[in-house]
Chains A and B, each alone.
Chain A
Amino acid sequence: MKTQMTTLRQGMGRLAVAAAALGAAVAPAGAQDARVGLRAGTQDAAQAAWNMEVISHQARPAGFFATDPEADFGFSNTDLAFQGNHVFMGNYNGFLVYDISNPSNPRLRASVPCAGGQGDVSVYRNLVFLSVEETRGRLDCTANGVADSVSTERFRGVRIFDISNLDRPRLVGAVQTCRGSHTHTLVPNPRDPSRVYVYVQGTSRVRSGSELAGCSNRPPAEDPNTSFFRIEIIEVPLAAPQQARIVNAPRLFADAQGNIAGLWAGGRHGEGTQSTNVTNQCHDITAYPEIGLAAGACSGNGILLDIRDPANPVRVDEVVDPNFAYWHSATFNNAGTTVLYTDEWGGGSAARCQATDRREWGANALFTVQGHDLRHAGYYKLPAPQTAQENCVAHNGSLVPVPGRDIMAQAWYQGGISVFDFTDPARPVELAYFDRGPMNASELSVGGFWSAYWYNGRIYGSEIGRGFDVFRLTPSAHLTQNEIDAASLVRMTEWNPQHQQRVTWPAHFSVAKAYVDQLVRSRGLGPNRMVRLQQEVEAAERMRGAQRRTALMRIATQLDGEAAASRDGAKVRMLAGVLRELASAR
């Protein structure tokens, strides 16, 4: 750990040089990380924040917590989805809807009890999808469980709610699956807007064939129709969601010989070896329809899927990583040239960010994507050591859409939230963080951030036991106000983080000024030239009409000539490009 902390400080030191030019403050070099030694507490823990701040906090509402600690685990908050001014928060007991019209003061808009865990949630137009995997899940949504190991009352799969009227959400569909649904992924069909596909990732035990016809827990050598080694794909007709049904169960792990258990955690093995691998599922899949790819985190492997025909995904590459325990989730950068996989070593309930834990274990692994070829580039793990009382491992996050950089905000359970730059996937660096002390000072009480996602200018955090947090980023040398402003220009109307949408930025001076700040940081042009460039761009912003157009074109033309000699020529060209867009606007 000492070695890593030194490396981090050296990294900050390098950035601090660039920061001087921007006149911004940086964390004092050599200071102990403020996340170390925070006081414990459920709602009164000490907190540490760097370059971000919490602007609102809501505890879990009535019906979604239990005062009895023995029962409270069944009311854990989970994943988030976004639509307009609403955040949908999954919970082991159903889902919650918050109105975030005022992010500093969110309002609980609806709470929908319907037990079954883990409540992975997505929203698509007037429909909410909810994953259910626990064997206690019931068709009638009640919370009393199902004692019999075979029962017609049990529900495990994907529930579909109609939320046209948020005062009265209606359960309109329930698609049973053999292993339930741990997570799911929405994949729209670009050629048919009347339906959406739901990839179902079941990771739990296979139920009996006498409970749900066709389910088989036998190994593939004994039963080619085994419920292992596949995902299920539900097709949802949007006008008739009650007709949602499973249309495919692709064998994503099959090899060229048709062996459905063709992937191997340790790599390909020799002829005559009879062992079958027992990891046989995807934990989560992130679809990026605009590039025709999805990245699957499939317990023993990371895989890449061609999803141009969304009902028939085809595996095009797979990787193993000897440091990875459990391939958990994936996030593409906006260009689709890097994919970040998480390793949820210990399943999220273990303290895996202690000083004694290896930096490559329970971390993110970054891979470059060239065509259909994944190549390992580096790792990123929460840089501050956590206590034995804090469950901590890499978990859910999303891109912060700063133009010209790849930045992610990510939840690390009780490790808090870490915002980091992975533009260079071999050398990720932290930009901001938020952390609270442990839930409990003397023992590990499972909690912390399940998810942290950027949405329309804020970061939203789903805290398992503490509730719902909203954050804003604050400017620093690592991330300037111009860069935050440019990211905040991106407005989504609907956002499910496992369905990535390509981000584009409008022609706006914030984008140009963000690029200028990045050129300062990278020393892409000489220091005197940078000062003049900042002045020229700001002067152009104050102009109007033809005068502004002329000024912008003149700056762009000069940058064209400087790009070739710049150490950051690509960024110089991007700046010239956005200045031209501004010149031709209105």
Chain B
Amino acid sequence: MKPRWITAAGLAAVLASASPGAAAAQGHTHTTHTSTAQTPAHTDADVRFIQGMLAHHAQALEMTGLVHGRDARGDVRLIAERIDVSQRSEMARMQRWLQVRGLAADSADAHHAHHGGGDAHAGMPGMATPEQMERLAQSYGPAFDALFLELMIRHHEGALVMVEALFGSQGGGQASEIYSIASEVDADQRMEIDRMRAMQQGPLGGARPR
């Protein structure tokens, strides 16, 4: 690991204004990378990420919606509750992000995503096929537990791929709030994947639904 250094000369201009009352930040513009922009604006890649992730999360809610009445294990019910809460609040934040910018939530696609009916989001990484969703809807007891964990882990891993793709795109993830949303999605899915992988080895101790 070779640290890199910035020369003092290269910073002189910036630090000359580093005093009380330095330049105000109100000059935001939708043109990224102009000299007047104080913070990077969002890009098309950002918008596609948000719209895609909304549809992706919608399928996770379809899955957690199936848990009730399946005679699922206590820790499976508990992780489903956690995923349900997590995905709902992430979706709310992503919908707000679109609304503030006057952009469509692409809700028609989100609604149809799990049917895979030729819409734009059916090919997203980790999405369960209609056949898999149907099989989950027909499962009970240990068979439900195993299939739920398998499909949800794969589903969550797909979200990580989408985050990675965002940051690999030109200008993607530069806007501060997009960076924050993507990082939160990443952290939440990773934690839940870990928890579910441990659950595949057997029931988690200590997690008792009330």
- A74 to chain B minimum Cβ distance, whole angstroms, is 3
Q: CB within 8 Å of B: which of A224-269? A: 232, 242, 244-246, 249, 264-267, 269
Choose among A68, A136, A270 the residue that contacts B176 (Cβ–Cβ < 8 A).
A136
Given the contacts A74-B176, A135-B167, A149-B170, A326 and B204 also touching, CB distance less than 8 Å: no
How many interface residues does A have (CB within 8 Å)? 96
A368 in contact (CB, < 8 A) = no
A462 CA to B180 CA, complexed, in Å: 19
Choose among B25, B28, B180 the residue that contacts A349 (Cβ–Cβ < 8 A).
B180
B119 in contact (CB, < 8 A) = no
Does B2 contact A71, Cβ atoms closer than 8 Å?
A: no
Choose among B15, B89, B187 the residue that contacts A326 (Cβ–Cβ < 8 A).
B187
Report A-chain residues with C-beta under 8 Å of the C-beta of B100: 69-70
Does B19 contact A110, Cβ atoms closer than 8 Å?
A: yes
Given the contacts A66-B28, A145-B174, A265 and B191 also touching, CB distance less than 8 Å: yes
Report A-chain residues with C-beta under 8 Å of the C-beta of B177: 70, 73-74
- From B31-39, B125-133, B139-147, the one touching the partner chain is B31-39
B111 in contact (CB, < 8 A) = no
Q: CB within 8 Å of A: which of B187-210? A: 187-188, 190-191, 193-195, 197-201, 204-207
Does B28 contact A203, Cβ atoms closer than 8 Å?
A: no
The 8 A CB mask of B82-109 against A (1 = contact, 0 = none) is 1001100110110010001100000000
Does A269 contact B198, Cβ atoms closer than 8 Å?
A: yes
Report A-chain residues with C-beta under 8 Å of the C-beta of B2: 213-214
A444 in contact (CB, < 8 A) = yes
A93 in contact (CB, < 8 A) = yes
Q: Which of B19, B23, B85, B93 has the most CB of A within 10 A?
A: B85
A299 CA to B13 CA, complexed, in Å: 39
Does B19 contact A144, Cβ atoms closer than 8 Å?
A: no
Interface size class of B (residues with CB under 8 A): 35 or more
B69 in contact (CB, < 8 A) = no
Does A322 contact B22, Cβ atoms closer than 8 Å?
A: no
Report A-chain residues with C-beta under 8 Å of the C-beta of B15: 112, 141, 168-171
Choose among A145, A148, A244 the residue that contacts B40 (Cβ–Cβ < 8 A).
A145
Choose among B22, B82, B198, B205 the residue that contacts A265 (Cβ–Cβ < 8 A).
B198
Tell me whether chain A's interface is mostly helix, strand or loop, or mixed. Answer: loop
Does B188 contact A347, Cβ atoms closer than 8 Å?
A: yes
Q: Which of B1, B28, B89, B180 has the most CB of A within 10 A?
A: B1
Does B183 contact A350, Cβ atoms closer than 8 Å?
A: no
- B160 to chain A minimum Cβ distance, whole angstroms, is 8
Does A135 contact B188, Cβ atoms closer than 8 Å?
A: no
A108 in contact (CB, < 8 A) = yes
B164 in contact (CB, < 8 A) = yes
Given the contacts A61-B21, A174-B5, A249-B1, A300 and B191 also touching, CB distance less than 8 Å: yes
Q: CB within 8 Å of B: which of A84-102? A: 92-94
Nearest A residue (CB) for B92:
A444
A205 CA to B163 CA, complexed, in Å: 9
Does A113 contact B198, Cβ atoms closer than 8 Å?
A: no
B20 in contact (CB, < 8 A) = yes
A278 CA to B37 CA, complexed, in Å: 36
B66 in contact (CB, < 8 A) = no
Does B1 contact A232, Cβ atoms closer than 8 Å?
A: yes
Q: List 21 A-B contacts (CB under 8 A).
A: A66-B26, A66-B28, A67-B26, A75-B25, A75-B39, A93-B25, A111-B19, A113-B23, A134-B176, A136-B174, A136-B176, A139-B4, A140-B11, A147-B33, A169-B18, A265-B198, A266-B199, A267-B205, A322-B75, A346-B86, A350-B93
Q: Which residues of A contact B (CB under 8 A)?
A: 61-71, 73-76, 92-94, 108-115, 117, 134-136, 139-149, 155, 157, 167-178, 203-205, 212-214, 232, 242, 244-246, 249, 264-267, 269-270, 273, 275, 277-279, 299-300, 321-323, 325-326, 345-347, 349-352, 357, 361, 443-444
Which 9 A-B residue pairs are closest in the complex by CB-CB distance? A266-B198, A145-B40, A74-B176, A265-B194, A347-B184, A350-B89, A322-B207, A71-B28, A73-B177
